[in-house]
Amino acid sequence: MPAALVVAVVGPTAAGKSDLAVALSRHLGGEVVNADAMQVYRGMDIGTAKISTTERAGVPHHLLDILDVTETATVAEFQELARQAIDDCIDRTKVPVLAGGSALYVRAILDDFVFPGTDPDVRARLEAELEAKGPGALHQELAARDPKAAEQILPSNGRRIVRALEVIEITGGPYFATLPEHRYVYPGAIQLGLDVPRPVLDERIDRRVDRMFDAGFVAEVRGLLNKGLIEGRTANRALGYSQVIALLNGEIDEEQARERTAQATRRFARRQDSWFRKDQRITWLPYDAPDLVEKALQVIAQGNREGASGVVEVNNGPDTQAGAVDARG
């Protein structure tokens, strides 16, 4: 039996992944599976550029709005949920189309990725150190023990730093070595990357940040504070949210919050792009190609012809001529 087709649309933030995923789903008879670590949270809509119900164009979306901001989902838990959604789509003969810029999450879903175990005592000790010393100090320790892992983890991401140090202590080897090889668990997987020149991407990010603030981002964060955003261990670290929290605390003004959000997002986008570029299986397409959707469908059809996946009917309707996509995703 031919392998089922699984499509992933990847790339940096603000490249237009969400819109392309919807367009491809409409042509392939598919459904979108979210692979963005922060769009799982209810109420985090403006700051994560979550695609609206109208913009989904009737295409079902999975793994959006499934957690409260006080909850935490590990990569392993997200992997399980996403694979359940993918398998459900396949069982119903729907093409699952992953969309997201969380590179580790995409790889955890698509690749043969088995997570090392945990040790409650080691975890508790490292979390106590994080509380006492801060993430910067622990990141320096990680850099000394596993430089490659330190390059991939932001110095401010205390949760991931703790996990990396925990794995190093448990396994006796580098955390980076536990990352998966490029080997799909879904043989019919095809990855499409959106290629955006860096100066253009920076401009798109700046415009998106301005739209976020103009659309009521500050009010969104204020409302989420009443729902426990500060108490959550993950949600409040999302790009933009920590900056708006500082604004609401009177530590910075709105202009500074906008600029800091844009700066942090530009840095993150560079890291995303660097991570995805290491995966030679990704076919990169120009984000602004006037026939972007058609090009993407051609790559998918080629994958079918080469036997990577089952036969999928491609509907080359008028939408295949869709041009440059929105800065969302």
Residue 112 has which token pair?
């043969």
3-state secondary structure of 91: helix
How is residue 181 annotated by DSSP?
A: P
Which letter, b or e, does each residue of 46-63 get, where b requires 16 or more Cβ atoms within 10 Å of its Cβ? Answer: bbbbbbeeeebeebebbb
- The response to whether 15 counts as a known ligand-binding position is yes
Contact 315, 10 (CB under 8 A): no
- The response to whether 12 counts as a known ligand-binding position is yes
How is residue 280 annotated by DSSP?
A: T
Contact 309, 4 (CB under 8 A): yes
- The response to whether 18 counts as a known ligand-binding position is yes
Contact 135, 161 (CB under 8 A): yes
Rg of the Cα trace of the chain? 20
Rounded to whole angstroms, the Cα distance separating 175 from 167 reads 6
Cβ burial of 197 (10 Å; 0-12, 13-18, 19+) is: exposed
> Which residues are annotated binding-site positions for substrate?
13-18
> Which residues are annotated binding-site positions?
11-18
> Which residues are annotated binding-site positions for ATP?
11-18
